[in-house]
Every structure is written in structure tokens, then in C-alpha cells.
Amino acid sequence: MALISDIVKELALSTGTAEKSITVIARWLREDGLLSQKGHGRGAAQATPLDAARLLIALMIGGKIKNAPQAVRDFGQLLEEPHSRGGGDQEMSLENLCGLTDGHTFEDGLAAVIGFWGNEDAMRAMRKYINLRGELGVFFASLHSNHIFGSIQSLLVTYDYRHPTVHSSTAEPDQRPEPSSNDSLAAWDEVVARYQYGIESQRTVSDTLLRPLGAVVADLREPGSMQLRGERIAKTRDEITIIHEKRKRIAKASAVIKEKLERRKRKKAANTIQKENAALESEVETEAGWRPDTRVPDGKGGGGDG
């Protein structure tokens, strides 16, 4: 599995947020007990889909970094509204795809989606839902910070999430639902007051972010990489095989060239020896032809006393 630092890097690359800022957010969440924590370096705790979901929720809500733990608690614990699901193919429901049960929280739903994309078989099965722009449109997750409201869409199956202090209601998100007690009313007002920025705020993430994030959490892909580790390993193996084949061809060609050079050298040496022998024979013949005849003919010996 990946580390929290891998999730931080992936979110920084996919959201355009400074990695240093997300690292600080992760530290605040960890100190508040909202992220896995154990040791450092190689002994550090392995990240989970829930860790990724909580970091993503903090980024979706925004605000001051020191308030990130509170934002994660407020929005991560939004409860699924009973009978909130719209129509659509129930085979694509979170229950069927991710094994969720009724009454789950927003962070559980988001973590389930991220975990879903950490399964290679799921990735292959969902390729048929790629649109003309090459994008997957299976899951969408939204948070409305002004209304303390969330939703997750799995194709055409939609899940709505509201704050635990609020009764299940058919009221629109911008209407203040009726709380179950005065204590709940006070708790609701306190939560709402934290996010009344005066600006309508809605953040939505889709598979463009969720799919690579899930693959990073499952350690199927390195942060920022467009290829799964298995695909990259297979590609690397193919590249290594090609390199080996090229080296074999080069070695074979070199051997042929070397043999040709050796033949040329031998032929040249043979020609040289032949030329030297011919020159030597010619020199010998020349010397033999110009050698003075020292023989004395009969009767024509040197003079002397008779």
C-alpha cells in the first residue's frame, strides 16, 4: 500500500494545490487522529482509502488549514438520507459495487469509491463507460459547504447526505430543516455558522481525480503517473527485451564485420607476402643474370711459360 505522502503528492498534482499546504493539512488531521499514523520513513503507516477521502474532504471544503479537522468531522460524518437514491441501474449502486450498507456516512461512501478504483478488475470493467473525450463518468462526489450537504452519484444512482442533527426531510438543501430537539438545533446552528462565508460554495470531484487517486492508494500507480505499475513493468520488460535483441543484432553484425576485416587482413597479408616473394624472386633472377662467368674455356687458359 501507499503512504500518506503519496496521497499528498497525488492530490497536489491533481488539484493544483501546493504540496506543502496539503502536507500541513495532513499533519493537522494526523494529530487529530483522523489519519493513519505509525512510525516514519519505511516504517510509516500505510495509507487507506479513508485517509484519502478525509484529505480530499478537507480540500473540497477549504478554509483555514487549522480548521481542516473540524471540517472533516462535520462533512465526513454526514449521513446518507433514507430513500434519497434516485433511479438508475441498481447494479451500479454503491451497495453492489462497493459493499456499502444503508445509513453509511459521506466519508465512508467516498472512501468506498476511492477503494473501488484500487481494483484492477474494476478498472477494466468500467472502461465501457469512457465517454468520447476519453473520460470516465461513473462516480461524482459533491459537498455544499453553505448548506452542510453532500451527494455521491454512481452513474444514475444518487445518494444524499445530511448532518446527523437533522431529521430526514424532503426540504431543499437551502431550507433549514427542523431539528429533533433544542440541543440538536444548537448543534446545527453551530455547524452552519462555521461555513457561512457569504459565498455559495459547492465542490465536485469526478473520476478524473478519484480513479488515479484510488490507484495510488492501492499502490497500483505512482503519484502523477498515467500508467499502472503492472503496465509500466510490462512496458519496461518489453523495452528491455527490445534492447537485448538490438544488442544481439549489433553483436552479430560486429562479428561479421570483424570476420570481414580479418579476411581482408589475411588477404592483404597474403598479397603482400606474394608481392614480396615475387620481388625477391625477381631480384634473385636479376642477380643471376648479371653474375660474371668465371669459367675458363679449354685451351684458352692464362698465359705462362711454355
pLDDT tens track for 174-199: 444 554 556 777 888 888 888 876 55
Where helices occur in 62-171 by DSSP H, the ranges are 68-76, 94-98, 106-116, 120-125
At 228 the pLDDT is 59
Is residue 305, in this structure, part of any structural domain at all? no
The reply to whether 48 and 197 lie within a common domain is yes
- The number of beta carbons lying within 10 Å of the beta carbon of residue 60 is 22
Domain boundary among 178, 205, 226: 226
The reply to whether 280 and 212 lie within a common domain is no
Is residue 295, in this structure, part of any structural domain at all? no
The span from the CA of 84 to the CA of 103, in Å, is 11
Is residue 233, in this structure, part of any structural domain at all? yes
User: What is the domain extent for residue 241?
Assistant: 228-285
Record the cell numbers describing residue 276, joined without a space.
Answer: 614480396
Residue 221 zone, left/alpha/beta (φ > 0; ψ -120 to 50; rest) = beta
At 184 the pLDDT is 72
The reply to whether 198 and 251 lie within a common domain is no
Strand partners, 150: 143, 161
Q: Where are the beta strands (DSSP E) in the chain?
A: 79-80, 139-144, 149-154, 157-162, 202-206
The reply to whether 215 and 88 lie within a common domain is yes
> Residue 259: pLDDT above 80?
yes
Distances in whole angstroms, Cα of residue 101 to Cα of each of 93, 95, 239: 11, 6, 46
DSSP category for residue 193: H
The reply to whether 114 and 173 lie within a common domain is yes
C-beta separation of 16 from 219 below 8 A: no
How many percent of the chain have pLDDT more than 70? Answer: 73
Burial 106-118 (b: 16+ CB within 10 A, else e): bbbbbbbbbbbbb
Strand partners, 105: 79
The reply to whether 232 and 213 lie within a common domain is no
The reply to whether 274 and 142 lie within a common domain is no
Give the angle 270-275-278 at the CA atoms, nearest 5°: 125
Is residue 114, in this structure, part of any structural domain at all? yes
Strand pairing report for 79-80 and 139-144: unpaired
The reply to whether 170 and 85 lie within a common domain is yes
Is residue 81, in this structure, part of any structural domain at all? yes
Is residue 42, in this structure, part of any structural domain at all? yes
DSSP category for residue 298: T
Least-confidence region, from 9-13, 54-58, 72-76, 93-97: 93-97
The span from the CA of 94 to the CA of 114, in Å, is 12
Is residue 306, in this structure, part of any structural domain at all? no
Name the domain count of the chain: 2
> Residue 106: pLDDT above 90?
yes
Q: How confident is the model at residue 30 (pLDDT cuts 50, 70, 90)?
A: very high
Least-confidence region, from 112-116, 159-163, 289-293: 289-293
Radius of gyration of the chain (CA): 42
Strand partners, 143: 150, 203
The reply to whether 50 and 104 lie within a common domain is yes
The amino acid that residue 297 corresponds to is: P
C-beta separation of 201 from 144 below 8 A: yes
pTM of the predicted model as reported, rounded to 2 decimal places: 0.68
